[in-house]
Structure 1
Amino acid sequence: MLHILFLILKIIGIILAVILGLILLVICIVLFVPICYKADLHGSGNARELTVHAKVSWLFGLIKAVFALENGKTDLSVRIAWKKFGDSDPVEDKAEDRIEEKPKPEKKSVMQEKQVIQGEEKQDDTTNRITDKAVEDQTEKAEKSEQTAKTRPESTEKKQRKKKDRKEDSDSASKIEQITEKIKCTYHKFCDKINEITEKKDKMSDFLTDETHKNAFLKLKNEAFHLLKKLKPKKIQGEITFGFEDPSLTGRLLAWISMIYPWIGEHTDITPDFEHRTLSGDLSIRGRLYVITPVVTAIRLILSKAVRRSFKDIRNFKL
């Protein structure tokens, strides 16, 4: 009995060891298999004719994403194992132009045309009669209004003028009061906003000048630069000539490129054109990133007390 029991335990131990070994193997594959990326750019002098081919793959091509830009048309396809998302071929316009035939107007008979002309003449006669009657009515009304205006006594006109003057005076006084009240309200609102801004400014300055928050910011900065160093391409080769219609834009872009030129300038030749708008040349980029690198940076940030405390303060911070 003991021999059989030990044999069963031995088999269970072997199965557990195999399962743990497979789990460790999967973890090692996920962490130490790199994410490879590459990109090829080609320009022939015009920015609209730029062609770009980029590819990102992981786990020996089990997960892959391909991007293409040709003739102003983009294509993006993603494959996860055996499932594909997006179009695998570049987008093409396969629709053909179709000409729609306009329906021909039907020919009318001579009798129908005569009937239409007679109907139009009758309508014109009726409209002319109606307009003549309307003009006569308006003239009669105008004559009656003139007669009534002449017969009005002068006393009623004076009373109406006095009433109008009183209304105008009261309206002007009410308008002045409304304007003064609006000015007072805007002044008080402006003062309240200034006080709120000063209070928010004091809170922000206290939050940013805290030592723990400063240490957390420095930690994030160092980890971000470390991750960018690991993410930078391993191989860059190419020759590029660029330029804009405005020479100032060319100078600004050249200033931005000069910041990263120490990392890309060893195998690249970049020449600005300050007179013409152009984008020509070839550029090839190759690089990779191990998954363990962002995982380690995330663990470092989580273990940092300053980062955790500043994260809690940011969640609870209210202006």
Structure 2
Amino acid sequence: MLHILWLIIKFILILLGIGLGLILLAVLLILFCPVRYSACGTKEQDDWKQITGQVRVSWLFHAVSLRATWKEGSLEKVFCLFGIPVSELLKKRRQKKAHTSEKKKETSGTGKTEKKRDTEKKRKAGNVTVESVHKEKIAELPKAEEHLKPKPEIQKPIAQEPSAEKTVSQEKKQRRNPFSSLISRIKKLFHGILAKLRNIRSTVRKITGNISWWRDFLEHPRVKAAISLVWKNAKFLIRHVLPTRASGEIAFSCEDPAVTGSILAILGMTIPFHKNCVQITPLFQGENYFRGNISVRGRIYGFVFIKAAIVIYFNKNIKYVIKRWKTRRA
């Protein structure tokens, strides 16, 4: 008996170990297997609609991939699992469902024809006569006549005429002095203006109190340290997400040479990102012109985001900021 129990416990422990191992493997893949992406685009004609581009995102050594292409003004998306497009699998499944539904319709049609035949046979073999039907109808006639008899009318109560006292009170209201109504309206307006002024005063006090609280909150040294930490991690994450490789050539010009120069100055600010791997050539020809191609690649690791989140969450200055925000104490 103990031997059997030990075998059962051993089997359960093996299953738990396999499950925990699979969960650990999935977590490690999510954290340390990068999500790779690549994008490319070209423009070789004057029409902006003739731009072609492609974006591809893959994970787990291209086992899971998504590809989107833009060509001739249309977007095409393909999602693949282990190199097999999911759209084809869905089409095959739909075709199978349609085939099975057609078979069901055919079988249901044959069943209906058989039922019709059975009903016709029953009608022919039935012993119901026309005379029995007429007798049933004649028996139902007196019941219908009882329902058609006129019901006794219910006498409605006569509405009483309005009393003379009400008419006298209405006449008195009409004979009131018109100056009293004007005075009452002026009083209502005056009270309404006073109430609005009081509300404005209270809102101004609240705004000034909030401004002073925000000023003290932002000027606190621990709050400044927390903001600098968040900004430092945000810059690190942006650098990690940006592409690691870039290449391409761009040639452009505008009708106004000054506009061309300002665009060149803006594009020059992007050199730290692509490390001068994209060649930009301005053409001061006095016409609108744009040609070029560009391609970028990059990767994203999951553990980088987890690390930044842990550093921010367990920092003492961040905890102080959260507590002060909840309590709103100076």
- Normalized against structure 1, the TM-score is what? 0.56
Q: What SS does the aligned partner of 1:276 have?
A: coil
Q: Distance in 1 between matches of 2:39 and 2:56?
A: 6
Pairwise CA distance, 1:188: 9.6
Q: Runs of 5+ in structure 2 lacking a partner?
A: 88-193
Residue 209 to residue 234, structure 1, CA distance change in 2 (3 Å) = same
Query: What aligned pairs does 1:72-111 form with structure 2 within 5 A after superposition?
Result: 72-76=73-77
Aligned to 2:33: 33
Q: Distance in 2 between matches of 1:293 and 1:24?
A: 18
Residue 191 to residue 9, structure 1, CA distance change in 2 (3 Å) = closer
Q: What SS does the aligned partner of 1:68 have?
A: strand
Counterpart amino acid of 1:225? K
Match 1:283 to one of 291, 294, 315: 294
Query: What aligned pairs does 1:142-157 form with structure 2 within 5 A after superposition?
Result: none
Q: Distance in 2 between matches of 1:228 and 1:45?
A: 34
Aligned to 2:66: 65
Counterpart amino acid of 1:33? C
Work out whether residues 46 and 279 of structure 1, in 8 Å CA contact, stay in contact via their aligned partners in 2.
no
Aligned to 2:272: 262
Residue 11 to residue 72, structure 1, CA distance change in 2 (3 Å) = closer
Residue 13 to residue 188, structure 1, CA distance change in 2 (3 Å) = closer
Q: What SS does the aligned partner of 1:65 have?
A: strand
Work out whether residues 32 and 292 of structure 1, in 8 Å CA contact, stay in contact via their aligned partners in 2.
yes
Q: Distance in 1 between matches of 2:256 and 2:38?
A: 32
Aligned to 2:13: 13
Pairwise CA distance, 1:53: 1.2
Residues 1:22 and 2:33 aligned together: no
Aligned to 2:309: 298
Q: What SS does the aligned partner of 2:226 have?
A: helix
Query: What aligned pairs does 1:188-207 form with structure 2 within 5 A after superposition?
Result: 198-207=208-217
Pairwise CA distance, 1:207: 2.3
Residues 71-100 of structure 1: per-residue CA shift (max 9 Å, x gap): 4444455567999899xxxxxxxxxxxxxx
Q: What SS does the aligned partner of 1:233 have?
A: coil
Work out whether residues 47 and 278 of structure 1, in 8 Å CA contact, stay in contact via their aligned partners in 2.
no
Work out whether residues 243 and 276 of structure 1, in 8 Å CA contact, stay in contact via their aligned partners in 2.
yes
Aligned to 1:226: 236
More moved, 32-41 vs 62-71: 62-71
More moved, 32-41 vs 294-303: 294-303
- Normalized against structure 2, the TM-score is what? 0.55
Query: What aligned pairs does 1:164-203 form with structure 2 within 5 A after superposition?
Result: 198-203=208-213
Pairwise CA distance, 1:281: 0.9
Residues 175-233 of structure 1: per-residue CA shift (max 9 Å, x gap): xxxxxxxxx99999998887665444323322221223212211111111221222222
Q: What SS does the aligned partner of 2:53 have?
A: strand
> Across the two proteins, how many residue pairs are aligned to each other?
240
Aligned to 2:56: 55
Pairwise CA distance, 1:293: 1.6
Pairwise CA distance, 1:284: 1.0
Q: Distance in 1 between matches of 2:84 and 2:202?
A: 59
Match 2:247 to one of 234, 237, 240: 237
Q: Distance in 2 between matches of 1:194 and 1:246?
A: 51
Work out whether residues 46 and 280 of structure 1, in 8 Å CA contact, stay in contact via their aligned partners in 2.
no
More moved, 306-315 vs 15-24: 306-315
Q: Runs of 5+ in structure 1 lacking a partner?
A: 87-183
Residue 85 to residue 23, structure 1, CA distance change in 2 (3 Å) = closer
Pairwise CA distance, 1:67: 2.9
Q: Distance in 2 between matches of 1:190 and 1:243?
A: 56
Work out whether residues 46 and 278 of structure 1, in 8 Å CA contact, stay in contact via their aligned partners in 2.
no
Q: CA RMSD in A?
A: 4.8
Q: Distance in 1 between matches of 2:270 and 2:55?
A: 21
Q: What SS does the aligned partner of 2:287 have?
A: coil
Residue 82 to residue 276, structure 1, CA distance change in 2 (3 Å) = same
